Amino acid sequence: MRIVATIFLLIGLFSACTESPVETVFFNFSGNRGVYIVNEGNFMYGNSSLSFYDPELKRVYNHIFQARNGAPLGDVAQSMNLHNNLGFIVVNNSGKIYVIDSQTAEYRGTISGLSSPRYIHFVNSEKAYVTDLYARKITIFNPETFQIKGNIPVNNSKSQFNQHSTEQMVQYKNKVFVTCWSYDNKILVINSDNDQLVDSIEVFKQPAGIQLDRDNKIWVLCDGGFEGNPFGYEQPGLVKIDAETLEIERSFRFKLGEHPQSLRLNSTKDTLYFINRHVWKMSVNDKKLPEQPLITSNYTSLYGGFYSIGIDPANNDIYLGDAIDHRQNGIVYRYSSNGKLLDEFKVGITPGNFAFKTK
């Protein structure tokens, strides 16, 4: 009898031993140029992570947030911005922004209580905006104190859809232009002096990416929705808007069924890059969409391929994230601005966003 009891209890005891905590890893990227890679992870898995790549040493450091701070980054890390030696990482489905020291990855604070935060735009050293997929407001916080200071309501009660979901932002003078992606077709214009919604511009369906070029023209990439979308489904498009007059100057259409995404500009703000299965490059003066891709995706299978893009402001190197099956560590390919492969390295699950550290 006792033998049996002992066996049963020993098994239990064996399993009750808890794992020893992992030692803290210290980083110091001071003086190094490099890029932070935000790995989204999977929705409801809480497995997003942060990587750092040093292009001079060709060395990648993965999981730096958890390695340095002990806790995981959270559920679906969406974007990251560097500002005043701090890194602001928006963790979408954890409803928060984690702030780290951009040289050491050390945790500095949290801006919590958000609904479904997406992107940050810094208006000045004391004011930043956070867009949100669901909150129907843009949250204003102080990037020095990490305190929420207020919000800009963007509720559109006239629509049967839950508008406006706010997405990416660019600023021209005191006007902040905000894309409204989900079930929407608007660019909102916010006066950054008084934080008021002052105007809006109608574009194609589901505008996501937005960039401001050297001529003060705003470029908006719209994905057109999807088949069966109650808000509608149309050809994706690229729209060029004059930031001063808010007039649409030119528009470009993709084919139905294509999924253009990740609109970026180079450092001189005269060349656009985006992914539409392959990587495409066009001048801000072009009058039609490019016909030949800059970098061709070799994927022929049903899944995998280029998922995200980042342009190094120092040398216009192109960083391409490949999420493979979105359930394993992704790959980042680094290309020169003319499309030559320079390096490739493994990062975390679903590399989705890049934040470049210039020093």
Partner 1 sequence: MKLFLIGLLLFCSRAEQALAQKLSDTISIEEVQVFGKRKIEETATTITHIDTMALQMMKTQTISELLSSYSPVFIKSYGRGSAATASFRGTASSHTQVYWNGVRINSPMRGDVDFSLFPVYFIDDISLQHGGSSLQSGSGALGGSVLINNKADWTDRLSVRFIQTAESFGTYKEYLNLGYGNGKLQFKTRLFSDHSDNDFPFYNYGVLPMHPAIQKKADYTKNGLLQEIYARRGKHSFSGKFWAYSSRRNLPQLMSFEGDARNETQKDANIRGIIDWKYVTDKNKFELVLGANWNRLNYFRSSTEANFVNFDSRSHEKSWSSRLNFDRKVNERFSLVWSLASGYHTVSVFDRAQKIGYDHNRFEMSLLNSAYFKASERFFFSFLMRSELYDQHLIGAIPSFGAEYFIDEKQQHSLKLNVARNYHQPSLNDLYWIPGGNPQLKPEKGYSGDVGLSISKPTGNQSFSGQLTGFMSLIDDWIVWQPSANGAYYWEASNLRKVFSRGVELQVHYQKKFGPQIQLDLKGNYSHSATSNVDAVPSVDESRGKQLIYIPKDKANLFAELNFKNTYLKLNEPFTGKRYTSSNNVESDYEKILNPNWLVNSAVGQKVELKPLLIDISLQIENLLNTDYMAILWRPMPGRYYSATIQIQYKK
For the CB of residue 281, give the shortest distance to partner 1 in the complex, in Å: 17
Q: Tell me how many residues contact partner 1 (CB under 8 A).
A: 87
DSSP category for residue 133? S
DSSP category for residue 80? E
- Within 16-45, the residues that bind partner 1 by CB under 8 A are 16, 18-19, 22, 44-45
For the CB of residue 285, give the shortest distance to partner 1 in the complex, in Å: 26
- Within 311-340, the residues that bind partner 1 by CB under 8 A are 322-329, 331
Q: Looking at beta carbons only, is 9 or 341 nearer to partner 1? A: 9
Instruction: Tell me if 342 contacts partner 1 by CB under 8 A.
Output: no
199 in Cβ contact with 176 (< 8 Å)? no
By CB neighbour count within 10 A (0-12 exposed, 13-18 middle, 19+ buried), where does 244 fall? Answer: exposed
DSSP category for residue 34? E
The widest CA-to-CA distance across the chain, in whole angstroms, is: 88
For the CB of residue 306, give the shortest distance to partner 1 in the complex, in Å: 8
Rounded distance between C-alpha atoms, residue 50 and residue 348, angstroms = 7
- Within 244-273, the residues that bind partner 1 by CB under 8 A are 257-261
CB-based contacts of 163: which residues, under 8 Å, 6+ apart?
136, 154, 155, 156, 180, 183, 184, 186
For the CB of residue 345, give the shortest distance to partner 1 in the complex, in Å: 12
Instruction: Tell me if 143 contacts partner 1 by CB under 8 A.
Output: no
Instruction: Tell me if 167 contacts partner 1 by CB under 8 A.
Output: no
- Within 40-79, the residues that bind partner 1 by CB under 8 A are 44-47, 49, 62-63, 66-67, 69-75
For the CB of residue 94, give the shortest distance to partner 1 in the complex, in Å: 5
Tell which one of 27, 101, 127, 305 touches partner 1 (CB under 8 A). Answer: 305
194 in Cβ contact with 200 (< 8 Å)? no
